[in-house]
Structure 1
Amino acid sequence: MNTKIILRNRPNQTVTQDNFECIDADIEPLRSGQVLVLNQWLSLDPYVRGRMSERKSYAPSMALGDVVMGEGIGIVLDSRSDQFKAGDKVIGMLGWQTHAVMNCAAIKLIPEIPFSETWLLGAAGMPGITAWIGMMDICKPQASETILISSAAGSVGSVAGQLAKLQGAHVIGVAGSEEKCAYVQNVLDFDHCLSYKHSNLAYYLNKHAPNGIDGVFENVGGALFDSLIPQMNPFSRIAICGLIAEGLEERLHSINLRTLLANRMLIQGFIVSDHMSRWREIQKQLIGLIDEQKIQVHEKITENLQNAPQTFIDLLEGRCLGKQIIKLS
């Protein structure tokens, strides 16, 4: 029997428990080229919120009744594929369920590794590689430059900021609570961290970035993004990774094009799946940095599939620190 969480209905403005339903279903028989996976670890990531909407985006939306999508790690129980055998550890888009029937092309084998396999869902996986692409390819931090990271305590922003620090940049984080700001400064070693809840954020930006901002790794959007544009320096770069503050609604931003022109600014959105050819190369470098403790990792493990919806809601509403993972079995 497979226990799974499906998309019951689409969110209106915010994601609620009512958008999900936990059901039990029979496990479908395997066809040639398929394997049955017992899911062990489930990654919770903000991008899933966008897939719950019917709004046109870079990837198809989930259909009502679909298993909620999510990357996971599990062990092969049965196989009708020459590529995998029972007992193999695999990673792929296994979804919010206890068992997954997967086409062999949709999963990858995890070899014996000398580190926690959960790193492959976080700092050495999709979130870490996202951070690398946005920071190293777009923001391109240089020594003495000022780089700002929004959602700095999250699984992507925390790695992005640490990468900027390794390049010698002055790094400012923005987070949603004093606890998160303390973590960002004291554990991740950012130079400063500001709460976006400050009533006068512009004052604090001027105080901690008196010479302006050279690069922004944008995870939030909303009013925070608008407040940063006047602070940007000539030849500054903005990597737009996510817009978590904008929910599932469209938000129009008033941007002075003359400011962009005069400052010769680069604003670039990016999607990590456009860079699959570089995945292993970047992952290898991230694993090395984590192993050498040059990048700190914080994982929050929550047990039980039934807790995934509330943990996901907490993640979207800023109540989580670091990488959120559900332990299934």
Structure 2
Amino acid sequence: MPNPLNRLPMVLTMGDPAGIGPEIIAGAMIEHPDLLAKEVVVAGDVRVLRRAGELVAKERGLALPEWLELTGLDSWQPQVGRLAVVQACEPVRDLQMGQVSASSGLAAAQCIEWAANRALQGMASAVVTAPIHKEALSAAGVHHPGHTEFFQALAAEHLGVKVDSLPVRMMLSCPGLCTVLVSIHVSLREAIAAVTSAQVLQTLRLTVDHFQRCGHPRVRIAVAGLNPHAGEGGLFGREEIDAIAPAVQAAQADGVQVVGPVAPDTVFMRARRGEFDVVIAMYHDQGLIPVKLLGLDEGVNTTIGLPFVRTSPDHGTAFDLAGTGRANPASLWAAIEAARGMSLQV
């Protein structure tokens, strides 16, 4: 029987069970029980999630809404005051909070696969992911450097195409700033080599497509330079002349509202003041540092280019906080709200 809202649920993965993921899920559940009960199904280890909920409720001195255990999404019926959860991984044994382990990495990976498969099968409106630990993933034999590449591989496999045929990008946003990265989890040396006209233009096109699907057809884009002062006409490097400017010109010829290369030491300030809607950053830290500086508690990571909506909080597993019940769920809640808004548009 269809749910009374006639709406597919979002799937929220628990992240690394040794990190703060289960606890920020519990915190969001306490703060926003009605919306989460109506629209979210958690994919994780039921025992781990129950324990995290009890810990957070005790730390806050508040009652935790009940869990509603499901066998799958086909049996989901929203119940106010009860957050739905599915055992989406093998039970985690001998969990050590704040410690890297293969068992935790495996559980996180299994939850990611479970959620991605439901979204790809049209059973979920969006996927929201709690933080994972890359070292734990690697210890479990999962050789993807992060969520973004993992979801890209799963989606490509589902579609029957090569990974390179399904380009994706990370988009990081917080109140007042949005940035999309040309390269993701690679060394700085590799990131510089990835600054090519083709890569920059592909990033621009993916960004435009994402904003169009979300109801913003005339997004204003600034493309950051790679070198100090955007190269100063070739004095500090030729990437702006040889790679970035040609990509910007090609996008402009397609009707994209874009400028660049813009000096990277001022472009984020100008965007925050309202001159641009989004900044294309040349590498991971160039884009993430300003977003995390301005709004870590409300930062959202969105994967653009996937055939489904996927967001996550813009922070890591915070092993130093894991097991205390004090982790702030604000960024997770922002990711849930962002996914909800995007899924209503696409």
The TM-score with structure 1 as length reference comes to 0.28
* Larger strand proportion of the pair: 1
Relative contact order: is structure 1 or structure 2 higher (C-alpha 8 Å, sep ≥ 6)? 2
* Bigger helix share: 2
TM-score, with length taken from structure 2 = 0.27
